[in-house]
Amino acid sequence: NAGVTQTPKFRILKIGQSMTLQCTQDMNHNYMYWYRQDPGMGLKLIYYSVGAGITDKGEVPNGYNVSRSTTEDFPLRLELAAPSQTSVYFCASSRGQGNSNQPQHFGDGTRLSIL
């Protein structure tokens, strides 16, 4: 079972470069999320989506953009990479509203360093 798949697993960027972190899930989940986790810290929500074509800002959206053209895919884009965006990025998915007992399924994370 693939679950939530994130690519790449590791990436080093130079300041000012852009990149897209890919996330895809094969569980037909409506809800998808992007989190960042700084060293020794908890998860902070960047963006989330409750379904194809719908996205909303989370706690720390600045410097990021997302799109949700399909149920399966939820890419996260960094337009102008900054050192403050060095972090581990997790994508997650879950069933939709009315399913509060459903946990999030997480990808393995993308470790991103901005130099």
Partner 1 sequence: AQKITQTQPGMFVQEKEAVTLDCTYDTSDPSYGLFWYKQPSSGEMIFLIYQGSYDQQNATEGRYSLNFQKARKSANLVISASQLGDSAMYFCAMRGTMNRDDKIIFGKGTRLHILP
Check: CB of residue 57 under 8 Å from CB of residue 63: no
Task: State the Cα–Cα distance between residues 24 and 34, nearest whole angstrom.
Answer: 12
Is the peptide bond prior to 61 cis by the omega test (within 30 degrees of 0)?
A: no
CA distance 54 to 11: 28
CB of 46 to partner 1, least distance (A): 12
β-bridge partners, 113 = 12
- 83 CA to centre of own chain: 18
Contact window for partner 1 (CB under 8 A) among 15-23, 69-77, 79-87, 94-102: 94-102
Query: With respect to partner 1, which residue has the nearer C-beta, 14 or 28?
Result: 28
Query: Nearer Cβ to partner 1, position 67 or 104?
Result: 104
Residue 102: CB minimum distance to partner 1, A? 8
Q: Which of 43, 60, 76, 112 binds partner 1 (CB under 8 A)?
A: 43
Q: Which residue ranges make up the site for partner 1 (CB under 8 A)?
A: 31, 33, 35, 40-43, 45, 48, 50, 56, 58, 88, 90, 92, 94, 96-98, 100-101, 103-106, 108-109
